[in-house]
Amino acid sequence: MELILFLGSLCFFLFLNIPIALVMVLSAIVLMLYSGFFDFMTIPQAMVDGVNNYPLMAIPFFIFAGEIMAKGGLSERVILLAQLMIGRVKGGLGYATIIASIIFAGLMGSSVGEAAALMGILYPMMKDAGYNKGRAGAIIASGAILGPIIPPSANFILLGATVELSITKLFMIGLVPGLLIGLFLLIMWFFIVRIDGYTETITFTREQAIKILKESTPAFMLPVLLLGGIRFGIFTPTEGGAFAAVYAIVVTTCYYRELSFRNLLRVSAAAARSTAVVMLIVGAASAVGYFITSAQIPMQMAAFFAPLVPTPTLLLLSIMVFLFAAGMVMDLTPNILLFAPVFYPLIYQAGIDPYFFGLLFVLNVGIGVITPPVGTVLFVICGSAGISMGPLVRKLAPFLIVEICVLFLLLLFPQLSITPMKWLT
C-alpha cells in the first residue's frame, strides 16, 4: 500500500506541474501522515543531512567550471576544433556538432548546459546552411545526453554519493560507452546526410587551422588533465572539480582574456543559482528517501522484482523499462535520488556489477531528457529555436532509436563497459 501511495502522490503532484523539489517534499509529507508520524521537523533535518555529504562538493565546482567555460570563450574554440577535425565532408556541421558534444561532455558534464551552449553557436550556422530546423535541433539534442555519461558527470557524482560507490570508477565506466554512442551517432548522421541532401562543407586555410589548434589546446587539455589526475590518484573527483574551476578561471582570464572580473562575479552568481537548485532537489529527495525507507518501500519493490533475481538479464530489462518510463516524466537528478536506493539492493542480490548497473541507470534516465512529455533538453531547444516539440521529436527519432539500441547493446554485453573500466582503474 505504501508503494502505491508514494507513486500515486508523486504522479499526482507532477501532473499538477509543481516544481520537482516541492513534489518530493509533498510526497514525503504524504508518507509521513500515512505512517501516523507528525514531527514535521524531521523533513528539514533529513534535507540538511542529505546535502551534508563530502562527495557532493564536486557538483558546485563542476557547475562553476562549466559556467566559466560557457562564458569565457572556450565554447567557441571547442566548436572550431570540432569543425577542423571534420575537414571537407558533406554535412560537416552535423558531424562537428556530434564531435563538439563529445568534447563538451568532458568539459561540462551537463546535458542541459551542453545543449544550451551548442544551440547558441551551432544552431544559427546550421539554419543558415539550409538545415531543417527540427533536424538541426535534433542533432544537438541527441549529443546532449553524452553530458551525463562522459566524465566528469555530475550525475555519476550524485549516484556515487547516494549509493556509496567509487566516483572514480563510475567516471571511468562511462568513458568508452560515451564514445561508443558518439560513434553510432556519427554513423547515423552519415545516412541522414544522404537522405536529407546536405552538401555544405567546412574549410579552413592553413593559417586558420594553426590558430584554431593553438587556441583550442587549453580547452581540449582540461578533460585530459582532469581524467589523468583522477586516474593516477593525483586528486579525488571532488578535488578534480576544484582543479577544473581554477583551470577554467586561469585560461579564460589570463590566456583568452575574455572574462573580466565583473563577468566572473556574474558567472559565479549564475553557478550559485544552479547549485542551489540541484542541492534543493538533493535535500528534498533525502527527505522523501527517509520516509521511503521507514515505510519499507525498497522491500516492497524487491518483493515485486524478486522472481526475476535468478535471471539477472531479465531483471535488468524490467528495471530498464521502468526507468525509461520514469525518465519520460522526471529529470535525471530526482530519478537517481529516488530510485537508486530502491533498486541497488536488488542488484547486489542478483550479483550484478554495481558500476555496470550505474552506467545503465544514468544512460537510461539520461535518454529521458530528450523524450517527451518532460524532456528538459527538448524544452531548451524548442525555446531557443522557436519550434514546436512535434517536429523536433520526429526528426530526433532516428538518433533516439540509436541511443536506445546502444543501451540494450551494453546491457546484453556487459564487458563492453566493465573491461575498459578495469583497464582505466
pLDDT in tens, 248-284: 888 888 888 888 888 888 888 888 888 888 888 888 8
Provide mean pLDDT across the span 17-37.
Answer: 82
- CA 401/CA 236 separation, integer angstroms: 36
* Mean pLDDT across the chain: 85
Point out the least confidently predicted range of 168-182, 342-356, 363-377: 363-377
Per cent of the chain over pLDDT 70 is 99
Top-confidence range, 84-88, 177-181, 373-377, 389-393: 177-181
Helix ranges (DSSP H) in 295-331:
297-305, 312-327
pTM over 0.85: yes
Quickly tell me which residue has 522484482 as its cell.
Answer: 305
Q: Is the pLDDT of residue 111 over 90?
A: no
Give the HSE-up count for residue 383: Cα atoms under 13 Å, Cβ half-sphere. Answer: 9
| Nearest residue to 178 via CA among 203, 155, 147 | 147
Contact predicate 333/112, CB 8 Å: no
Per cent of the chain over pLDDT 90 is 20
Q: What is the DSSP letter of 320?
A: H
Q: Is the pLDDT of residue 108 over 80?
A: no
- CA 126/CA 4 separation, integer angstroms: 47
- CA 404/CA 377 separation, integer angstroms: 17
Estimate the crossing angle of helix 92-108 against helix 167-196, to 10 degrees: 170
Q: Is the pLDDT of residue 326 over 70?
A: yes
pLDDT of residue 1: 66
Q: Is the pLDDT of residue 215 over 90?
A: no
pLDDT of residue 84: 86
- CA 227/CA 224 separation, integer angstroms: 5
Q: Is the pLDDT of residue 413 over 90?
A: yes
Contact predicate 356/418, CB 8 Å: yes
Contact predicate 260/68, CB 8 Å: no
Contact predicate 44/280, CB 8 Å: no
- Indicate the helix (H) or strand (E) that contains 89: none
Q: Is the pLDDT of residue 214 over 80?
A: yes
Estimate the crossing angle of helix 354-367 against helix 312-327, to 10 degrees: 30
pLDDT in tens, 233-246: 888 888 888 898 89
Q: Is the pLDDT of residue 411 over 90?
A: yes
Provide mean pLDDT across the span 298-302.
Answer: 75
